[in-house]
């Protein structure tokens, strides 16, 4: 499956007027909660969609089946390749003939040592045995190639089943059964909601006060009086000279999925 990752972070610009010098706490009044990942899911190989297992709003786990492409033709190829890869009858037949000729060679060599037969008779049996060894090697190579072909068509078969790469929520579905799917066009979008990301810009004056792992209270617009603790995950090392700020990414746990992405918030440092 081919997945295209999109940025899961929306940075909010901090109004510098809201940051009086010497304030005990910085109240960042404009931030946005965003998914930690947003993945556009596309098929690896083109084909007709046979079934789709999810819809917009569906919750999925990593590995869940999202859709299947029609696979009737490849199924027959898998069956044929499996039969060839597992067929030992020809090799077994040659092995039995080798066993017989090896016994025959021992006998003719014994007879030759007693001057009862000519060298050409020994040479003839040895030539037959060498030919059988070569035949066994050829069949073994063919069987190995059949095993490789089986793996190839099995992989092609697996590519016709598209699975979710992450735990998340289906936020968009742009295809239906019976439609033709190609690698260039995503068939659905999945957003990871645990954890969530919160992006903020803070003034350069507090650059030395923030550390990775610090906890920061977050207040959602839907619950302005309830503090949710987020953790500092990324601190930008390239500052924005024009605004005198730098970006910080916070991680907000959301194990039960109850917090929505896309909602505005404020943070307090």
pLDDT tens digits along 26-42: 888 789 999 999 999 99
Rg (CA), the chain: 34
Regarding whether 60 and 186 lie in a shared domain, the answer is yes
Question: How far apart, in Å, are the Cα atoms of 235 and each of 5, 123, 213, 241?
Answer: 21, 81, 10, 16
User: Residue range 181-190: average pLDDT?
Assistant: 96
Of 125, 158, 191, the position where a domain reaches its end is 158
Q: Whole-structure pTM over 0.85, yes or no?
A: no
Q: Check whether residue 168 and residue 260 sit in a common domain.
A: yes
What's the CA gap between 234 and 10, in Å, rounded? 13
Mean pLDDT of the chain: 89
Residues 96, 202 within the same domain: no
Given 116, 135, 158, the domain boundary residue is 158
Q: Would the pLDDT of 195 be above 50? A: yes
CATH of the domain at 257: 2.40.30.170
Query: Is the domain of 184 the same as that of 264?
Result: yes
Residue range of the domain that includes 170: 2-70+164-268
pLDDT at 13 over 80: no
| Virtual torsion, Cα 150, 152, 158, 163, nearest 10 deg | 150
**In this structure, are 18 and 102 located in the same domain?**
no
Range 63-85 average pLDDT: 93
């Amino acid at each position: 499956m081919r997945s295209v990752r999109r940025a899961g972070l929306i940075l909010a610009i901090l109004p510098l007027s809201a940051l009086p010098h010497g304030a005990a706490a910085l109240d960042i009044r404009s931030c946005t909660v965003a998914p930690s990942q947003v993945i556009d899911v596309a098929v690896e190989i083109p084909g007709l969609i046979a079934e789709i297992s999810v819809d917009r709003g569906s919750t999925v786990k990593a590995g869940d089946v999202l859709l299947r492409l029609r696979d009737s033709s490849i199924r027959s190829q898998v069956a044929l390749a499996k039969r060839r890869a597992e067929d030992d009858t020809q090799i077994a037949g040659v092995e039995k003939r080798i066993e017989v000729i090896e016994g025959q060679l021992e006998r003719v060599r014994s007879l030759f040592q007693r001057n009862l037969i000519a060298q050409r008779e020994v040479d003839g049996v040895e030539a037959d045995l060498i030919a059988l060894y070569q035949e066994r090697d050829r069949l073994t190579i063919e069987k190995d190639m059949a095993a490789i072909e089986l793996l190839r068509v099995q992989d092609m078969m697996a590519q016709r089943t598209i699975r979710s790469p992450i735990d998340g929520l289906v936020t968009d579905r742009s295809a239906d059964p019976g439609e033709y799917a190609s690698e260039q066009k995503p068939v659905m979008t999945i957003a990871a909601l645990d954890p969530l990301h919160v992006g903020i810009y803070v003034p350069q004056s507090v650059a030395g006060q923030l550390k990775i792992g610090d906890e920061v209270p977050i207040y959602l617009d839907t619950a302005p009086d309830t503090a949710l603790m987020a953790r500092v995950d990324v601190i930008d090392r390239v500052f924005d000279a024009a605004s005198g700020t730098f970006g910080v990414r916070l991680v907000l746990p959301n194990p039960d999925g109850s917090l929505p992405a896309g909602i505005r918030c404020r943070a307090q440092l």
